[in-house]
Amino acid sequence: MRVGLLTGGGDVPGLNAAIRAVVKRGEGEHGHSIIGFRNGWKGVVDGDVMPLTRRDIRNVLPTGGTLLGTARYHPHASDGGLDAALATLEAERIEALICIGGDGTLNAASKVAEAGVKVVGIPKTIDNDVWATDASIGFDTAVSIATEAIDRIHTTAESHNRVMIVEVMGRHAGWIAVTSGIAGGAELVLAPEEPFDITRIEKFLKHRHRAHASFSIVVVAEGAVPAEGSSMLYETQVGKFGEIVAGAIGERLKVEIEQRTGFDTRVTVLGHTQRGGIPTAADRILASRFGVAAIDAVTAGTTNVMTAIRGEEVVLVPLSEVAGKVKFVPQGLLTVARALA
């Protein structure tokens, strides 16, 4: 078979491990030809192809990013995009397409599948908000990076008697904020799932600094917002493509906390450092398992599905059940973050 492969949306550590697994298993075990598309769905629309062999995926396991390149582009959302994508797949004689991406890429995959293309999705996102899977490629690395940053910030916060705000990614779900906040021992964790009350934060910080500590760490997800009716007015700042402006909520919290408490407050925005660098062993393993499962599914004729990890097992779930849904942080994990303040 001629099997297409693309990576779409934001890059994450572990993508190359997934590409490697698809190529090694597909070419070596099943005898398929793997045809990569550069820059995600844009490459499918433009016909920008890159045949992949075992030679192309040597020594890529520890490398971040994606050797195929990526882009935030969805063919069904552009005039003529879907028709152009279908024309390319026909011209390249692609019999099935493996799409590695987050919610946007997988939603696009479901639209292409509805048009008659055989598709298998692989979930990747540091936000960990893809529905139906316990974890997505890139999440473990992002949490490790964020936790290390919090560990480092602890010492400088204590040395200078400061409130330190650490802003992490997380548009709709606060997985990175909650898990790295717990692991790093943050005093406060602010996530999109639970809008915050700045007055309560003010009282907590004043009590903490009077009673037993001279510093505090606040971890905030970029998509966190104040509760409706609370004393802080704020609207999420977005860019021209709908992306949240990095640092906006962190800087606003800094101003509010300083004005309300008088404490010296600083902000660290981790931004794209969470998406870069060497993937953890856990992400390499998860990506490899997803890659093997995806190409095996294609070979078996099982398509229009997404690979998912549930417990210790990799399973296949219908793409139609995933598209347009968000996996939020469960209440139990939010409770743990609050309990350890």
| Crossing angle of helices 281-300 and 15-23, rounded to 10° | 40
Query: What pLDDT score does 229 carry?
Result: 87
Check the annotation: does 202 bind a ligand. no
The distance from CA 62 to its chain's CA centroid, rounded to whole angstroms, is 18
Query: What pLDDT score does 241 carry?
Result: 67
Check the annotation: does 275 bind a ligand. yes
Query: What pLDDT score does 214 carry?
Result: 86
Hey, which residues are catalytic here? 127
Instruction: Split the chain (341 residues) into runs of 10 and give each run's mean pLDDT.
Output: 95 97 96 97 95 95 95 84 94 97 91 94 97 97 97 90 94 96 96 96 93 91 93 82 84 95 95 94 98 98 97 96 92 93 70
Query: What pLDDT score does 206 carry?
Result: 94
Check the annotation: does 169 bind a ligand. yes
